[in-house]
Structure 1
Amino acid sequence: MNNDNQLKTAVGEWSRRTVPPEVCALAEAARQRHGGVGAVLFYGSCMRCGRFDEGIVDLYLLVDDYHRAFDSRLQALLNRLLPPNVFYLEVAHGGKTLRAKYAVLTLDDFARGARQWFHSYIWGRFAQPSGLVYARDGESAARVQEALADAVCSFLRRALPQAPERFTIRELWIRGLSLSYRCELRSENPAATARLFDAAPDYYEAVTHGSLQAMGLTMEALPNDGPPRYHLRISPWERKRNSLAWRLRQTQGKTLSVARLLKGLLTFENGVDYILWKIERHSGIRVESSPALSRFPLISLCVTFWRLFRKGAFR
C-alpha cells in the first residue's frame, strides 16, 4: 500500500461508517429537491454528538452541474459566483421533526476547494470527520474520498508552520482548527476546538500520519513520557509567510461569510431569523428580530451587521 492509499484508507474507514436513519431520511429529502446529485456528505456538530432531533443536521449535496441542480437560473448563477448555496429542510420521521441545513456544490468545485482554494471554507471543514451518506456510483464515491484526502493535506500543509516547535498531534489540530474558524464569522475558543479533536482522536491521529507520508514529510518523534511529541523542520521564513497568509485568509473569509449570509436571504425560509440565530450561536451576541428586518431585510441587516461588528460578533 503506498502512502497516498494509506491516507485515503484512513479517511474512507471513517466516511463509510453506518449513517443513522434520521440522516438518511434528511439526505433523501434534500436529494429529491435537486437534479444530478452525485453524492451527499454529513458532517458537523450533530455528527459529533449523535443527536439528530434537537439540532440542525449539516449536509453537503455534491452535484454535476448547477443548472441541472436548480430550476431557477438565478439560483444557479448565485451558486456559481459565490458557492455554496445553503438551504433549510424539515422532515417528519419517527414521530419527530428533523431539521437540516444543506449546501449545494458541484463535485468539481468541492474537489477544487479541498485541493486549491486559498480560503479554508472547504478544506477546513472536511479535514474533519465526515460521513458519505449517498454516492450515485463507485466513481462518485472515489472522487469524494480523494477530495476528502486532499482536504486533510491542504489543512495540515497550512497548519504545520503555525504549530509550536515541539507539538503533539492534538496541539497541531487545535491550532489549525482555531485558525480556520477565525476565517469565518465564528471564532471558536481553544476549549471548543479541543472538543473537536477529542470527539475523534483516532481519526486525527491516523489521517495526520497518512497525510504527512503522502506529502513526503517526516515528523521527528521526540522522547517524551506523555503523549508523543514531534518536531518538523520549518524555516523561519516559511513560518512568517504562512502567518501572513492566515491574516489575509481571515480578511477574505469574513468578507465572504457576510456575503454568503446575505445571499442566504434568497435561499432560506425565514432567512433573517436564521442569520441572527447563526450569529448568536457562534458569537454569543443576540440581536432581536423586528418587523423592519422582515420588511426591509437588506437595509436592516446592514445596520444590524454594523452593530454586531461593534459588539465583537465577528472577531
Structure 2
Amino acid sequence: MPQLLPLVTAELAAPADPRAAAMAGALAAQYPDAARAVLFYGSCLREANLDGLMLDFYLIVSDYPAAYGKGWLARANRLIPPNVFPFEHQGLIAKYAVLSEADFARLNSPAADNVSLWARFAQPSRLLWASDDLARQRTIAAVAQAAPTLLSLARPMVKEGGDVLSLWTSGFALTYDAELRAEKTGRSRSIVDADPDRYRRFGDAALADGLPPAPQDAPALWRALQRRGKRLSVIRLAKASFTYAGGIDYLAWKINRHAGTQISIKPWQRRWPLLGALTLLPRLFRGGAIR
C-alpha cells in the first residue's frame, strides 16, 4: 500500500482531544498484561466539546486469555467478537470494544464475515495509545486494510462512470443495510459529505495501490453479509446485556440521538435488560429507527 499507508499513518497520528487521549491511557492501564493499542473513533471524533457524549474506543489486546484469564468473557470475546464495556474517566463516559490483534487484522480485511469493523475503520480514527512500536505498526497495517476492503466489495455494485466519492457513498450505504443501525436514512451520504477531500484522497490512493480482488458474485455476498450482520447485531445486543452495565439505557440514548425518537426505558426493562432490549426491536423496526 505505497500510497494509502502514509495517509492512514498520518491520520491515526493526528491530534485528538487531550481528554480523549488521557482516557485511552487510563483504559489501557486496566489491562496491563494484555493492552496493545487503543483507538478512538466515531462521531465524537469530530466534536469540540465531549461533555455529555458517549465516546467510542477499541481496545486491542494480545489475546483474550491475557485480557480476562480463562473465564467466560474470554470465550465470549473469541466466539462473538467484540466484547463491549462501559468506561468513565475524569468526567467523560465511553464504551469500548475489545478485540485481539489477530481478530482486529482479520475483521478489517476481505476475510471478515461481517462489515462492522472495516465499515468503521474506513472512516477517520485516531491511535491514541500503543504499548510499543510493533503494536503501533500492526494496528496501522490493520486499519489500512479497511478502506480497500470497503471499496473492493462496493465496486461491483456500483454503475460504471461514477467518481470515487460515489463509490464511497454506495459502499457505506451497503454496510448500513448489513447492520441494525439507529441512524436516519441518508447518514451514509453525510459521512462522505462531511469531508469529501479526505475520502477522495484515500479513495484515489487505494485505487492506485490496487484493490483486493472483487468477489465473483458480489450481490450474493452482500445479501449474505446483510443477513449475517443483522443476526449478529441481535446476538451482540443479547451478549451486551451481560457485559455492559446500563446497556439498555445506552441503546435507547443512541437510538433517540440518531433517529429523533423519544424512547424511554421502564424499570422492568432495566431489571431484565435482555428481555427489555428484545421487546424494543418490533417498535424500532416499525418506526424505522433501525434498519
Q: Same fold (TM over 0.5)?
A: yes
Q: How does 1:140-289 map to 2 (within 5 A)?
A: 140-186=135-181, 188-189=183-184, 191-215=186-210, 241-289=217-265
Q: Which has the larger radius of gyration?
A: 1
Distance (Å, rounded) in 2 between the aligned partners of 1:48 and 1:111: 25
Q: How does 1:89-100 map to 2 (within 5 A)?
A: 89-92=87-90, 97-100=91-94
1:78 maps to 76
- How much does 1:128 deviate? 0.9
Write the letter of the residue equivalent to 2:280.
Answer: T
Structure 1 contact 186–283 (Cα < 8 Å) conserved? no
Deviations along 1:170-209, one digit per CA (max 9) or x if unpaired, are 2111111111122111164564223312333332222212
Distance (Å, rounded) in 1 between the aligned partners of 2:41 and 2:142: 15
Distance (Å, rounded) in 1 between the aligned partners of 2:94 and 2:265: 22
Match of 2:34 among 9, 33, 36: 36
- Cα distance change on mapping 1:309 and 1:193 into 2, 3 Å: closer
- How much does 1:71 deviate? 5.0
Match of 2:22 among 4, 25, 28: 25
Distance (Å, rounded) in 2 between the aligned partners of 1:13 and 1:83: 28
Which secondary structure state, in structure 1, belongs to the residue aligned with residue 15 of structure 2? coil
- Cα distance change on mapping 1:204 and 1:161 into 2, 3 Å: same
Distance (Å, rounded) in 1 between the aligned partners of 2:84 and 2:59: 10
Which secondary structure state, in structure 2, belongs to the residue aligned with residue 5 of structure 1? coil
Structure 2 contact 54–94 (Cα < 8 Å) conserved? yes
- How much does 1:313 deviate? 3.4
Distance (Å, rounded) in 2 between the aligned partners of 1:270 and 1:5: 44
Structure 2 contact 36–131 (Cα < 8 Å) conserved? yes
Structure 1, unaligned runs of 5 or more: 218-233
Write the letter of the residue equivalent to 2:74.
Answer: A
Q: How many residues align?
A: 288
Deviates more, 1:129-138 or 1:286-295: 286-295
Which secondary structure state, in structure 2, belongs to the residue aligned with residue 19 of structure 1? coil
Write the letter of the residue equivalent to 2:277.
Answer: L
Deviations along 1:84-143, one digit per CA (max 9) or x if unpaired, are 111111212xxxx21211111001100000111031111111111111101111111111
Distance (Å, rounded) in 1 between the aligned partners of 2:156 and 2:198: 21
- Cα distance change on mapping 1:190 and 1:206 into 2, 3 Å: farther
Structure 2 contact 28–37 (Cα < 8 Å) conserved? no
Distance (Å, rounded) in 2 between the aligned partners of 1:186 and 1:170: 22
- Cα distance change on mapping 1:51 and 1:176 into 2, 3 Å: farther
Deviations along 1:11-50, one digit per CA (max 9) or x if unpaired, are 1111111222111121122112223111111111011233
What is the Cα-based RMSD across aligned positions, in Å? 2.2
Structure 1 contact 254–314 (Cα < 8 Å) conserved? no
